[in-house]
Each structure stands twice: as C-alpha cells, then as structure tokens.
Amino acid sequence: MLRLLLVKKHLFLLLVLLLTSVSFAKAELAVHSCFYDITNVNGFYSLNKSADQLDDFVKKEPGFYPNPVQDIVNLTDQEDVLRVRIFSLTGKTLIDIKTKEETINLSKLSKGMYLINFDMKDGKRIAKKIIKK
C-alpha cells in the first residue's frame, strides 16, 4: 500500500513538472520567435532553420592552442582579426603581428603568463591569458 502511494506521488510530481516545463517552453518560444521560424503542428513546436543559418547567430571568436605553450602557438578562427599582440602582465608589447599568421613563435619569451590580444575588424578587442612553459 505504501509503495502504491509513493508511485502515485512520484507520478503526480512528474506530471506537474512536465506541465510547468511546457508552459515555460511556450513562453521561451514566444520570446525568441522573432529570430527563428517556429511552427506549431499538433501541439509540437518545430524550429525551421538550417545549420548554416544558425551559424550567423554564433560568432566564432579567435583562439589559440596549446595552452600552456612550449614554443609555437597555433592561432584559430582568424578571419576577422586585424592584429595580434602579445603583452607582458605589466602591459609591455612583446610581439605585434599585423598580417594573417597561423602560428606565433614564443621561444624568445621566458616562462610565465602573458596576454594575447586580438584586434577585430568590428573594433572589438579580445584578450586571453596564455602561459609559456
């Protein structure tokens, strides 16, 4: 008898959780529907965008690997980058590259932490920490 009551209680809680999540999902869809083509078929919502169209919303930030780096750091997603600079933690510019490069040689730098700064075409600057070992 006790087991039956526990099962009913859990089913009730699951039903309440499902009903509240559906209402939140409808509210979420209403807020974001201006960005996507959303259709409602028999109570189910579907998103009608291809993967290529969704990439417009996800901007790729420039990056690098490996971190920590031994000597050579590889740069990634450099399409919108105008300039790459390496700074010491005191703010001194150590390396300044204004051309499209795929790698930077850090062998002349001593061990420690540095900042790598990406100047973007849209005027934005992205700074990330890099460790030289």
**41-63: pLDDT as tens digits:** 666 666 555 555 555 556 678 88
Q: Is the peptide bond before 62 cis (omega within 30 degrees of 0)?
A: no
pLDDT of 33 strictly over 50: no
Between 19 and 84, where is the model more confident?
84
Residue 16: pLDDT above 70?
A: no
Helix (H, G, I), strand (E, B) or coil at 76: strand
Question: What confidence category does residue 15 fall into, taking pLDDT thresholds of 50, 70 and 90?
Answer: low
**From CA 81, how far away is CA 99, in angstroms rounded?**
9
- Residue 52, SS3 per DSSP: helix
Q: Which domains does the chain have, with CATH numbers?
A: 63-132 (2.60.40)
Amino acid at 117: N
Q: Starting from the edge strand earliest in sequence, which strands make up the sheet with 81-87, in order? A: 93-97, 81-87, 112-120, 125-132
pLDDT at 110: 92
Lowest model confidence (mean pLDDT) among 30-39, 68-77, 97-106: 30-39
Specify the higher pLDDT residue, 61 or 16: 61
